[in-house]
Structure 1
Amino acid sequence: MVSLDDSVIARLEKFGHKFEIRVDPDFAMQVKQGKNIELDKLLATNQVFKDVRAGDLASPEHITKVFGSTDMKIVAYKIIKDGEVQLTTEQRKQMQEKKRAEIISFISRNAMNPQTKTPPPPIRIENAMEQAKINIDAFKSSEEQVTQIVAALRPIIPISLEKIHFAIKVPTQYAGRASSIIHKFELKKEDWLNDGSLAAEFFLPAGMKQDLLNELNSITKGEVIVKIIE
């Protein structure tokens, strides 16, 4: 269980009743984002209160009326998802900084300069976000925020979430291993030629371009033919 000192209060008011539980702030945010977290990592106690600080427990009748169950996981998840997780100012700041770093990393891996087909460096993304005065929502996932953020960055830096369209041809002796690699990405077509070699087209984020080329060159000893399709 989470220690009381490290926990915060999650609260939900519904049908005139107040319900409070003590939760780990980081795992509570993950629950808000739809992740499944074990209760012993999420909760400081297995009790539902109407006032945590006073130690007043919520009645089982009220819990059943509002949540339709007394199952602790059902109740806790409902309180967290539909209610408010009370973070301190410092906790909110730390979570926003962590989310900002996640978003910068996500954009660097998945976006590209449409003119050069190269990923933007993280420091350039960070500076552009500061210039655009981007507000980060610590309670939303990176994926939910990226599209809007990239749109706000376009007047400042050339950036797009479009993926690079690759075409490759791999000699027979390396084709099987190459096929397993490209199947990790958005495959457009895969043709096995009469001589056993592989010709394929696929899309991948710009930030993964160099890692992919390194991997393909490694397994084919440099014999892979790669073309970027405009």
Structure 2
Amino acid sequence: MSRTLVQPVGQKRLTNVAVVRLRKHGHRFEIACFPNKVLSWRSHVEKDLDEVLQSHTVYSNVSKGVLANSKDLLKAFGTEDHTKICLEILDKGELQVSGKEREVQLSAQFHEIATIVMDKTINPDTRRPYTITMIERLMHEVHFAVDPNLTSKEQALRVIKKLIEHFPIKRAPLRVRFTAPNSKFASLTENLDEWNANVISKDEFGSITSVVCEIEPSILRSCEEKLKGVQGRVEVLSVSAHAEGGSSVDQDDAQESQSVPAVETDPVARISEVMQKQSISSEMENLDQGQGKHQRRCKECDVLVEDKLYREHCKSGWHKHNYTRHKNGLPPLSQEECLVEMELADSKRDLKDYDF
């Protein structure tokens, strides 16, 4: 009985790696890195090179385990030291990511941009911020696409300008404190009228007068320059001044629609109405499709789910949120209540002060 000879393979094949590629002098050079470590190295968060590289080896093809030729390395980099070459490829090379990883990164950056836009804008009628769901829907309406080569702050500025052109939305004013000597307060008052500042309070401390007011963020730099001439200074109290009261625009719109019949609907109201109709129609379709099919009860969410969709339900954010509440002894939430609670948690995140 014959047996098949198993020849040893002289290649070291690497899987589940992040490949950084660099083309130089007509040759391709690659290094194998751990996933999600290259960006940490480039942002100077990760300092240990061994935590980034899977091996201090330069390849011409990582997926096939083909090592780079020593003559090609010497010609392209002037050295055969693989560690030095790996450092250069890490800094200058192009990171190769899979489609799913790229989709996750773009989705996370899209949500980050929407969060910045939500924090820096208000509804001009109610002077309250829009919800994160509404901001994301408006960004889709203007066909916004994330550019991975730009920062989230830069893209948020561009999105705000586009949204102002198409929807009833504007930048949230800055709440600042102007301080100047009493002898120069008259000139400060003239500047306040010129800046269209909304004065909130005025206090006098001996020979110094301070005024708390709200101004447009775009004129902050010019305010600082003009106050230097009157021996004054500017102190930013809040980078986004919102009206006190309710938490979202959607609640205000719902209350107004109940009390007063709408004569003319604005684009934002139409979008919110479409979102509600879509959610109701999807629920009705699920109920129609669920009749006559085997279902399982999810004890964490207290709902019936079709057998084919049960695994997807367990992977959803709704189930995970209710699972955490179940472990803490709390009752389950509906899908709408869970969405609202998650939005409130997102809106309460501490954002860094962005200087627009």
1:16-51: per-residue Cα shift (whole Å, max 9, x none)?
Answer: 0101112344333456xx512333343222221111
How many Å apart are 1:55 and its aligned residue?
Answer: 1.9
Superposition deviation, residue 170 in structure 1 = 9.1
2:101 to 78, 91, 95: 91
Q: Which amino acid aligns with 1:27?
A: K
Structure 1: how far apart are the matches of 2:74 and 2:129? 52
Residue number in structure 2 paired with 1:75: 89
Which has more radius of gyration? 2
Matching of residue 112 in structure 1 with residue 136 in structure 2: no
* Amino acid paired to 1:205: V
Question: Once the 2 structures are TM-superposed, how far is the Cα of residue 97 of structure 1 from its aligned partner?
Answer: 1.1
Q: CA deviation at 1:57?
A: 2.1
In structure 2, the partner of 1:213 is none
Which secondary structure state, in structure 1, belongs to the residue aligned with residue 43 of structure 2? coil
The CA RMSD over aligned residues, in Å, is 3.9
SS of the aligned residue for 1:10 comes to strand
Confirm or deny that 1:202 pairs with 2:210: no
- Paired position in structure 1 for 2:141: 131
Asked if 1:35 is matched to 2:43, the reply is yes
Relative contact order higher in (CA < 8 Å, ≥ 6 apart) = 1
Q: Distance in 1 between matches of 2:173 and 2:16?
A: 42
Structure 1 runs not aligned, ≥5 long: 173-185, 190-198, 211-230
The alignment status of 1:9 with 2:43, answered yes or no, reads no
CA distance in 1, matches of 2:136, 2:28: 41
* d(CA) in 2 for partners of 1:157, 1:30: 38
1:122 is matched with which residue?
132
Gaps of 5+ in 2: 1-13, 179-201, 206-220, 228-232, 245-356
d(CA) in 1 for partners of 2:24, 2:241? 46
Q: How far apart, CA to CA, are the structure 1 residues paired with 2:128 and 2:167?
A: 13
Contact 1:10 1:21 in 2 (8 A): yes
> Residue by residue, what CA displacement relative to the aligned partner does 1:99-129 show, whole Å, maximum 9, x if unpaired?
11121222223x2238365444322211111
Query: Judging changes above 3 Å, is the alpha-carbon distance between structure 1 residues 42 and 74 closer, same or farther for their aligned structure 2 residues?
Result: same
Task: Give the % identical residues.
Answer: 22
Instruction: Note if contact 1:119-1:206 (Cα within 8 Å) is conserved in structure 2.
Output: no
